Structure 1
Amino acid sequence: MLELRILESGWISGEADDADDPCAHGTVMLAVDGHALVTPADGSFTLSAAGLYLLRTLQHDHAPADTVSDGNALFPCCGYIALPSSGVFPVFCIGCPGGRDVTVTHQGNEVLLDAGDGPRRVSLLEWRKAVLAFVDAVEDFYARCRPKHRATDPEEARGWALFWAEWQQRRQAAQAL
């Protein structure tokens, strides 16, 4: 059985609402058959960046040499600036090197998840459902708060627009399967 869920969510300021913080933060649980790959003890992550990266894993592998996160961990500590990218993906999130990385490898109708202590196997359908539930929880958190202030830097504003456009496109594609 796969468990992927947000345990706590908030803004970096600790306030109940923060229109200046574009990134949701919080703790996560990821476990397969009771074996924990990510826990609250691993720290607080940028849930919004993690959500986009998880959506990308529905179609792409995530491995150290070929990431969906432009060098960040799958569950990044930081992802505070979104900028346009000319790489494989239209946007990348700048953050610190912290976080918790989990390798995601597709094998037919299955996905292997590995946090460094051996792969755990789940069905692609189960992975897709869990990822969609995760991103829905992130969206629900944003919906309970005031709209975010637009970034004053034009490239960053464009980056955040691309971030949410890619998020919606990937979410809709996953729901259509």
Structure 2
Amino acid sequence: MNTNKFSIEVTEMNWLFKEDIHADLCAHGKVKVEIGNELIAGIKDDENWTISASALFLLRTLERNHTKENQVGEHLIPCCGFFLVFDKDMDEVYVGGCPSGIDWEVIHENGNVKLRTESGKETLVDFNFYKSEVLKFVDRVENFYIESGEKKMPEDEFDRRGYLEFWHEWKMRRSKWK
């Protein structure tokens, strides 16, 4: 098992609705992820992922495991994340999209995090190192939103509520790691 070999970075960010970036609520981009000796994202130049959903899912992994049986999201790096659902009976926002994405497992063990890729290879990472990598990713995505200016809120109440609760959960989870 490899140790402390994990990196995740946004290599490019964009909005899909280039003609009106203020109406586009989902940040997209290219991502490079290395776990152990395996490059699991950043292989093809045409890959464009929903990095806003990725950031929220990664924040969730700071507090709990992400396994095939108990997921924080369908994929840690989803292709799509356009369907945001929240109601008073939910603890967190459901982010749905298409069935495509990149995934690995995150398992907390005695102050470390075991990362298991889809190929079955495992890497043990110190939790503080893992947390640092995740927070750099999250902060870079959040800064992209800030630099892009204020978003137009959806007119539909359901969509507006999902988006606002997405950011409420994001800020609540991020604030735990100042």
Given that 1:17 and 1:146 are in contact with CA atoms closer than 8 Å, whether structure 2 keeps it comes out as no
Seq. identity, %: 33
> What corresponds to 2:135 in structure 1?
132
Q: Aligned partner of 2:104: which letter?
A: V
Confirm whether residue 155 of structure 1 aligns to residue 168 of structure 2. Answer: no
Question: Which consecutive residues of structure 1, in runs of 5 or more, have no partner in the other structure?
Answer: none
Distance 1:57 1:114 in 2: 13
Aligned length: 171
3-state SS of 1:61 partner: coil
Given that 1:27 and 1:44 are in contact with CA atoms closer than 8 Å, whether structure 2 keeps it comes out as yes
Q: Measure how far apart 1:66 and its partner are.
A: 0.7
> What corresponds to 1:104 in structure 2?
106
3-state SS of 2:176 partner: helix
Q: Measure how far apart 1:158 and its partner are.
A: 0.9
3-state SS of 2:125 partner: strand
> What corresponds to 1:31 in structure 2?
34
> What corresponds to 1:53 in structure 2?
57
Q: Measure how far apart 1:101 and its partner are.
A: 1.0
Q: Measure how far apart 1:151 and its partner are.
A: 1.2
Distance 1:79 1:39 in 2: 19
Task: State how 1:1-177 maps to structure 2 within 5 Å.
Answer: 1-13=5-17, 15=18, 18-41=21-44, 43-69=47-73, 72-85=74-87, 86-87=89-90, 89-117=91-119, 118-175=121-178
Q: Measure how far apart 1:35 and its partner are.
A: 2.8
Q: Measure how far apart 1:31 and its partner are.
A: 1.1
Distance 2:20 2:11 in 1: 18
Question: Which consecutive residues of structure 2, in runs of 5 or more, have no partner in the other structure?
Answer: none
Q: Measure how far apart 1:40 and its partner are.
A: 4.2
Q: Measure how far apart 1:137 and its partner are.
A: 0.4
1:26-54 residue CA offsets vs partner (Å, 9 max, x unmatched): 11111134432322428211000000000
Q: CA RMSD in A?
A: 1.7
Q: Measure how far apart 1:23 and its partner are.
A: 0.4
1:12-32 residue CA offsets vs partner (Å, 9 max, x unmatched): 13x286111100001111113
Distance 2:19 2:155 in 1: 23
TM-score normalised by structure 2 residue count: 0.89
Q: Aligned partner of 1:63: which letter?
A: T
Distance 1:114 1:10 in 2: 29
